[in-house]
Amino acid sequence: MAEKEKKETDLDVSAEESTAEVTEENKAEGTDAVDTEQDADTAEPETAEEAVEEEASGDPRDKKIADLTDRLQRQMAEFENFRRRSDKEKAGMYDMGAADVITKVLDVVDNFERGLKDFDETDPFADGMNKIYRQLSKVLDDLGVKEIEAEGKEFDPNLHNAVMHEENPEVGESTITAVFQKGYTYKESVIRHSMVRVAN
């Protein structure tokens, strides 16, 4: 009987010890879990900060691509500006050359006009000369050559060259009363001034 009671007591002590051990293990596990959660919470902000830093710094390759793209765009813009300047210079040289040739052709036009004044309109030869003159005038007009209006207009030093003055009370002051040589413009630029007489 005493042995039976002793065994039961031993069983109760063992049970209590087991329960205490389990409780302590649970506490330890709970503490570890809490520590792990705290570590995770602490690690999350660090990870977020690192992500922001990585995003700010960016991939070096992307930065290199952006830099090369910017340089390419600048070079393309410079080349386009160079091409436009070259085209403008070429056009300017062409206009200068054309103006020089046209000026010489205008002397031929002057001679045509003087010759036609000496011919009778009924003369067949005069008719042929007129046809050539009209064709030449059309070619010049198509090129952009325009005659400067002068007679009866107010004198403009930008368009006219006064070679003679006269007293003429019938017209206003600085009015052109006669044209000795026609003036012309080429593409809105004066290539030859009109030689005129102006009233004082």
pLDDT tens figures, 14-24? 444 544 454 45
pLDDT digits (tens, 9 = 90+) for 5-52: 444 444 444 444 544 454 455 444 444 444 444 444 444 444 555 554
pLDDT score of 120 more than 80: no
**CATH number belonging to the domain at 146-200, selected among 1.10.1740.10, 3.30.540.10, 2.30.22.10, 1.10.510.10:** 2.30.22.10
Q: How confident is the model at residue 171 (pLDDT cuts 50, 70, 90)?
A: confident
Q: What single DSSP character describes residue 154?
A: B
Long-range contacts at 93-102 (CB < 8 A, ≥ 24 apart)? 95/186, 95/187, 95/189, 98/143, 98/186, 99/186, 99/189, 99/191, 102/140, 102/143, 102/145, 102/184, 102/186, 102/191
Pairing of strands 145-147, 184-186: antiparallel
Cα–Cα–Cα angle for 91, 96, 100, rounded to 5 degrees:
145
pLDDT score of 4 more than 50: no
